[in-house]
C-alpha cells in the first residue's frame, strides 16, 4: 500500500523535486503538489492524502495557519512541517498548531522518506537540531503548558528510558537502535507513555517530562 503525500510548497524547484522523489520511490506517491495554502480545503478534498508536507512560509495563508485549520477539519491526516527556518518559535507554534513532526529542507531525501513513513505509522519525527531548538525555546521563554505536579505516572523503567531519548530528540528508529528493541516495540512503548502521561503527541510528552522532571 502506497503512502499518499500532498505537498504545500511555494518554491517550484523544491516542490518538483519532492514530487519526483515521492513518485520515484516504491511505497510512496505524490497525490497533489500546491504552491500555496489559500485553497487548502479544495486541494485536500481532491488529493485525499495520508500525509501532508507543509511549508511554513507561503504566500497568503502560512503553513501554521493552514495546519491549524487542516487538523481541525481532518484530524486523521498527518502533517509534517518542512522549512528552511531553524527558528524555535516557529517550530513551537507549528507543533502547537497540530503538526505531527518537523523536518528541515536541507535534510537528505532519505530523511524525508523516513519521516513521512514514521509520521504515517503514528510516530512524531523531529530533526535532532529542531528538537534542541524546541527545548531551548521552553527554557528561554519559560513556557508552561501544564501545571507542574508531583504525580506518579507509573512509567516503567523502559518507558522512562524511551522518554529520555525522546526528550533528547531521537526518532523511533534511533531509539530502537539505542534501546536494542524493534521499531514496533518503540511505537508500543510510546503509545503507553502518551496514555500514562495523558498527552496526545510528542511535543506534549516532552514538555510534561521537562516540567515535571519525569525523565
DSSP 31-86: EEEES-STTHHHHHHHH--SEEEEESS-SSS-HHHHHHHHHHH-TTSEEEEEES--
- Residue 18 placed within a domain: yes
Instruction: For residues 69 and 169, state if they share a domain.
Output: no
Instruction: For residues 82 and 155, state if they share a domain.
Output: no
Instruction: For residues 83 and 148, state if they share a domain.
Output: no
Instruction: For residues 69 and 45, state if they share a domain.
Output: yes
For a pLDDT cut of 70, what percent of the chain falls above it? 84
- Return the pLDDT at 137: 55
**Domain edge (last residue) among 108, 131, 154:** 131
| Tally of domains within the chain | 2
Model confidence at 215, in pLDDT bands (50, 70, 90)? Answer: low
- Domain CATH number, residue 8: 3.40.50.2300
- Residue 139 placed within a domain: no
Instruction: For residues 21 and 117, state if they share a domain.
Output: yes
- Domain CATH number, residue 172: 1.10.10.10
Instruction: For residues 124 and 63, state if they share a domain.
Output: yes
- Domain span at residue 96? 3-131
Neighbour count for residue 108 (Cβ, 10 Å)? 8
Check whether 143 has a pLDDT greater than 50.
no
Instruction: For residues 124 and 197, state if they share a domain.
Output: no
**Domain edge (last residue) among 73, 101, 131:** 131
**Domain edge (last residue) among 74, 106, 131:** 131
Comparing CA positions, the residue from 99, 125, 108, 110 lying closest to residue 187 is 125
Give the tens place of pLDDT for each residue, 119-135.
Answer: 888 777 776 666 666 65
- Return the pLDDT at 148: 45
Instruction: For residues 58 and 117, state if they share a domain.
Output: yes
Q: What does pTM read for this prediction?
A: 0.65
Give the tens place of pLDDT for each residue, 145-200.
Answer: 444 444 678 899 999 999 888 877 777 888 999 999 998 899 899 889 988 888 77
Instruction: For residues 126 and 171, state if they share a domain.
Output: no
Instruction: For residues 113 and 151, state if they share a domain.
Output: no
Instruction: For residues 109 and 153, state if they share a domain.
Output: no
Q: Residue written as cell 511549508?
A: 55
d(CA 6, CA 143): 32
Burial (CB < 10 A; 0-12, 13-18, 19+), residue 110, is exposed
Instruction: For residues 124 and 149, state if they share a domain.
Output: no
Amino acid at each position: 500500500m502506497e503512502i499518499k503525500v500532498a505537498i504545500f510548497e511555494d518554491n517550484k524547484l523544491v516542490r518538483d523535486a519532492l514530487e519526483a522523489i515521492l513518485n520515484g520511490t516504491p511505497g510512496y506517491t505524490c497525490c497533489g503538489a500546491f504552491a500555496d495554502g489559500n485553497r487548502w480545503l479544495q486541494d485536500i478534498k481532491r488529493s485525499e492524502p495520508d500525509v501532508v508536507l507543509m511549508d511554513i512560509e507561503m504566500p497568503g495563508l502560512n503553513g501554521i495557519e493552514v495546519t491549524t485549520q487542516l487538523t481541525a477539519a481532518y484530524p486523521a491526516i498527518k502533517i509534517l512541517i518542512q522549512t528552511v527556518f531553524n527558528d524555535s518559535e516557529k517550530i513551537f507554534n507549528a507543533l502547537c498548531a497540530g503538526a505531527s513532526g518537523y523536518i528541515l529542507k536541507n535534510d537528505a531525501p532519505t530523511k524525508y522518506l523516513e519521516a513521512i513513513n514514521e509520521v504515517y505509522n503514528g510516530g512524531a519525527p523531529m530533526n535532532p537540531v529542531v528538537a534542541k531548538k524546541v527545548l531551548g525555546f521552553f527554557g528561554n521563554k519559560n513556557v508552561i503548558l501544564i501545571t507542574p505536579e508531583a504525580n506518579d505516572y507509573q512509567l516503567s523503567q523502559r518507558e522512562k528510558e524511551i522518554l529520555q531519548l525522546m526528550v533528547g530528540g531521537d526518532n523511533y528508529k534511533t531509539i530502537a537502535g539505542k534501546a536494542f528493541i524493534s521499531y514496533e516495540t518503540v511505537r508500543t512503548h510510546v503509545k503507553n507513555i502518551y496514555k500514562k502521561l495523558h498527552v496526545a503527541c510528542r511535543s506534549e510528552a516532552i514538555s510534561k517530562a521537562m516540567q515535571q522532571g519525569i525523565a
